[in-house]
Structure 1
Amino acid sequence: MLLNTEIQKILKSKKFFIALIITIGLNLFYCWFVYNEENKSIESTKQYIAYTEKQIKELQQKLKKEKDDMKKRLYLEQINELNRIIQKEKLKMQYASNPKKEIEERARYYKMRYEISQKAGDYKELEINKVNYQILNENIKRKKYYSVGRQFDGWTYLLSQSYGIAFFIIIVLALLIGSGIVSDEYREGTAKILKTMPVKRSNIILSKFIATVLTVSALVIGIQIVFFIVLNLITDSFKYYDVYCNWISKYKVIGFKIYPVSDGVKLLNLLECSLLQLLTEIILILAISGAIMFFSTIFENGAFASISFFAIIIAISIFRQKILILKRPILKLLSLIFPWELSMVYTNSLPGEIEWIYASFYIVIGLNLLMTVIFVLASMKIFEHREKVL
């Protein structure tokens, strides 16, 4: 009953309609921007090839007129280098219309890199190259020549949301919907009425928290699913659900050290990766909703709650890389609170200084769930204390 009341209150508010418009608008803008950038990239490549070919002709003319042997060699080296660049760019253009060739070439490349890493004893590179080769090789066996990001479809849209886009949208919506969910009760004087209700004070806060989580989740994930379906229908890309994606490999953690496992690597397909993406978003929504409600309980003004929470997010983002170089491994856990780049949770190609995060998917989930519990319990205590004061 109480939860239903809170949800209805949110749905009937102007903030919800503003949040709905913002979510749809941001997703439309994102799709337009990525699609436009892809088209620009193709055109710029064509222009670059034409410009480079013009440079080659000019150098060839200079080469014919030049009599100095040293300058001739210099011109010849420049011509060979520019020809190599053109060949590389033309291959990229060919791959755009020939995905089979691209996948086969990439598979050969990673197999070669794997053999080199094996000889050099570089186990980190060995594992990464092995995983990528296995993924591509499995896709070739299935005759599914698909590469995420080669075309802008539903899979690319959804998985690319993990690179900061989903985090930004979640933050905006949580601030808009959750910043005043408790503080408005203080400002409007309805907090006094709440104590007359025959329910536990903790249930009031819990219902507000759940209502915020459900609303933000419905807006973020619901609209993502709609865009995902529409884009895949337009591009006929649902058939690639079982194509393997290079987001995860298997690693063994001992303390805070990470050791690659050469055998039994777990490969994930596009459907599994997409579900993992949505799961991570839900965990993030829980943590952020709990945090914003905590600040909303402290301040009577929703704007102050928003500013305080936003300041915390900025501080974590600024000091995230500095936290990662701390000598005490336990302090590095702070960098996993509110992971703005969701892909860092399960990628297999992170920078060396944070390599222990390779297998941190469960650590990230556990830490953010712990933070959620702490924020919600703290909000309950503060609300009970303020009620006594009122």
Structure 2
Amino acid sequence: MLLYAEIQKILKSKKFFIALIITIGFNLFYCWFVYNYENKSVESTKQYIADTERQIKELQQKLKKEKDDMKKRLYQEQINELNRIVQKEKLKMQYASNPKKEIEERARYYKMRYEISQKAGDYKELEINKVNYQILNENIKRKKYYSVGGQFDGWTYLLSQSYGIAFFIIIVLALLIGSGIVSDEYKEGTAKILKTMPVKRSNIILSKFIATVLTVSALVIGIQIVFFIVLNLITDSFKYYDVYCNWISRYKVIGFKVYPVLDNVKLLTLLESSILQFMTEIVIILAISGIIVFFSSIFENGVFTSISFIAIIVIISILRQKMLMIKTPVLKLLSLIFPWELSVVYTNYLPNELDWIYASTYVVIGLNLLLTIIFVLGSIEIFKHKEKV
């Protein structure tokens, strides 16, 4: 009953409608921007090819008139280089309308890179090239000539959200909805009324926390699903759900270094990646909602709550790379708080080798869930203490 009342309060507030408008508006702008960027990219490539071919003709005319052998060789080298560039750009244009050829060429490229990495003994490159080749080869066998990012459809939209976009919108919504969820009770004097209710004080904070999580999750994931369905219907891309596009990597520790286990890699389909992305988003929403409720319990003004939360996010973002260089294992774990790139979490792939710690999906998720529990329990204790003052 208490949870229902909290959700009703959020849904009736102006902040919720602002959050709804921001979420829908941001996603519409994002789709428009990416679609136009891809179209402009194609047009700019065509223009670049035309300009380069014109430059080649000018050099060829100079070459015919030139009598100095050294200058002739220089002109010829420039012509050859420009011809290679034109050929490369034309192939890109050709691949855009021929995904089969693109995937076959990319598969050959990654196979070649894998063989080079194998000879060099480069573990990191070995894993990346082998897995990319396996993914492309599986799709060729299935005759599924689909390249993520080849066109702007539902799958590309959804998976691209994992690169900082979903994290950004989660923070914005959490600030709007959660910053005043407890502090407003102090400000409006209703905290005393809550004290007279025949419910545990912990249940009051828990209901506010869960209401924040459910509202933010519904806005972020619900709207993502709507855009995902619409874009896939427009582009007829639902049929690619079983295309391989990513992987969950396994790691082993040798000394204090983390190395991939190449023979124990689970390839992911588009559908599996999407489901894992939603699960990762929920974990991040839990952690961020926990900390925003915590600060809302401390301050009696939602503005101070927002400032404190933003400060924490900024500090973690600035220090994230520096934390990776720290020798102390516990401090290094702080770099895994609130991961910007969600795909790094659900694919269990961290771009850099991490010394001293076994960094995996479970560590990142476990750390953020632990923070959630700590901040929620802290919020309950602060709320109880403030009632006694």
The answer to whether TM tops 0.5 is yes
* Bigger mean CA offset, 55-64 vs 145-154: 55-64
| Distance in 2 between residues matched to 1:125 and 1:48, nearest whole Å | 32
Q: Is the 8 A contact 1:250 1:260 kept in 2?
A: yes
* Bigger mean CA offset, 240-249 vs 199-208: 240-249
Question: Which residue of structure 1 lines up, in the alignment, with residue 377 of structure 2?
Answer: 377
Q: How far did 1:171 drift?
A: 0.5
Q: How far did 1:260 drift?
A: 1.7
Question: Which residue of structure 1 lines up, in the alignment, with residue 283 of structure 2?
Answer: 283
SS of corresponding position for 1:144: coil
Question: Which residue of structure 2 lines up, in the alignment, with residue 35 of structure 1?
Answer: 35
Q: How far did 1:264 drift?
A: 2.8
Q: How far did 1:326 drift?
A: 1.4
Question: Which residue of structure 2 lines up, in the alignment, with residue 50 of structure 1?
Answer: 50
SS of corresponding position for 2:266: coil
Q: How far did 1:350 drift?
A: 5.2
Question: Which residue of structure 1 lines up, in the alignment, with residue 329 of structure 2?
Answer: 329
Residue 306 of structure 1 pairs with residue 306 of structure 2: yes
Q: Is the 8 A contact 1:346 1:359 kept in 2?
A: no
| Distance in 2 between residues matched to 1:108 and 1:323, nearest whole Å | 38
Question: Which residue of structure 2 lines up, in the alignment, with residue 208 of structure 1?
Answer: 208
Q: Is the 8 A contact 1:212 1:289 kept in 2?
A: yes
Residue 141 of structure 1 pairs with residue 127 of structure 2: no
Counting only pairs closer than 5 Å after superposition, residues 27-106 of structure 1 correspond to structure 2 as 27-106=27-106
| Distance in 1 between residues matched to 2:73 and 2:350, nearest whole Å | 42
Counterpart AA for 2:123 = Y
| Distance in 2 between residues matched to 1:254 and 1:108, nearest whole Å | 31
Q: How far did 1:356 drift?
A: 8.6
| Distance in 2 between residues matched to 1:52 and 1:359, nearest whole Å | 47
Counting only pairs closer than 5 Å after superposition, residues 340-351 of structure 1 correspond to structure 2 as 340-346=340-346, 351=351
SS of corresponding position for 1:195: helix
Residue 199 of structure 1 pairs with residue 199 of structure 2: yes
Q: How far did 1:300 drift?
A: 0.3
RMSD of aligned C-alpha atoms? Answer: 1.7
Runs of 5+ unmatched residues, structure 1: none
Question: Which residue of structure 1 lines up, in the alignment, with residue 130 of structure 2?
Answer: 130
Q: How far did 1:66 drift?
A: 1.4
SS of corresponding position for 2:258: strand
SS of corresponding position for 2:56: helix
Q: In 2 relative to 1, CA 298–348 (structure 1 residues): closer, same or farther, beyond 3 Å? A: closer
Q: How far did 1:122 drift?
A: 1.9
| Distance in 2 between residues matched to 1:284 and 1:210, nearest whole Å | 14
Q: Is the 8 A contact 1:131 1:249 kept in 2?
A: no
> C-alpha deviations, 1:203-258, integer Å up to 9, x for none?
10000000000000000000000000000011010110010013433323468631
SS of corresponding position for 1:258: strand
Question: Which residue of structure 1 lines up, in the alignment, with residue 227 of structure 2?
Answer: 227
Q: How far did 1:9 drift?
A: 0.6
Q: Is the 8 A contact 2:3 2:210 kept in 1?
A: yes
SS of corresponding position for 1:267: strand
Runs of 5+ unmatched residues, structure 2: none
Question: Which residue of structure 1 lines up, in the alignment, with residue 268 of structure 2?
Answer: 268
| Distance in 2 between residues matched to 1:57 and 1:349, nearest whole Å | 48
Residue identity over aligned pairs, in percent, reads: 87
SS of corresponding position for 2:67: coil
Question: Which residue of structure 1 lines up, in the alignment, with residue 257 of structure 2?
Answer: 257
Q: In 2 relative to 1, CA 349–195 (structure 1 residues): closer, same or farther, beyond 3 Å? A: closer
SS of corresponding position for 1:67: coil
* Bigger mean CA offset, 353-362 vs 276-285: 353-362
Q: In 2 relative to 1, CA 105–23 (structure 1 residues): closer, same or farther, beyond 3 Å? A: same
Q: Is the 8 A contact 2:329 2:357 kept in 1?
A: no
| Distance in 1 between residues matched to 2:31 and 2:332, nearest whole Å | 35
Question: Which residue of structure 2 lines up, in the alignment, with residue 218 of structure 1?
Answer: 218
Q: In 2 relative to 1, CA 369–27 (structure 1 residues): closer, same or farther, beyond 3 Å? A: same
* Bigger mean CA offset, 141-150 vs 241-250: 241-250
* Bigger mean CA offset, 340-349 vs 291-300: 340-349
Q: How far did 1:375 drift?
A: 0.5
Question: Which residue of structure 2 lines up, in the alignment, with residue 180 of structure 1?
Answer: 180
Q: In 2 relative to 1, CA 325–359 (structure 1 residues): closer, same or farther, beyond 3 Å? A: closer
> C-alpha deviations, 1:60-83, integer Å up to 9, x for none?
111111122111111111111111
Q: How far did 1:331 drift?
A: 1.7
Q: Is the 8 A contact 2:56 2:82 kept in 1?
A: yes
Q: Is the 8 A contact 2:280 2:346 kept in 1?
A: no
Q: How far did 1:178 drift?
A: 0.1
Residue 151 of structure 1 pairs with residue 143 of structure 2: no
| Distance in 2 between residues matched to 1:59 and 1:356, nearest whole Å | 57
Question: Which residue of structure 2 lines up, in the alignment, with residue 110 of structure 1?
Answer: 110
| Distance in 1 between residues matched to 2:340 and 2:265, nearest whole Å | 27
| Distance in 2 between residues matched to 1:253 and 1:176, nearest whole Å | 42
| Distance in 2 between residues matched to 1:358 and 1:157, nearest whole Å | 32
Residue 23 of structure 1 pairs with residue 57 of structure 2: no
Q: In 2 relative to 1, CA 283–350 (structure 1 residues): closer, same or farther, beyond 3 Å? A: closer
* Bigger mean CA offset, 318-327 vs 200-209: 318-327
Q: In 2 relative to 1, CA 204–241 (structure 1 residues): closer, same or farther, beyond 3 Å? A: same
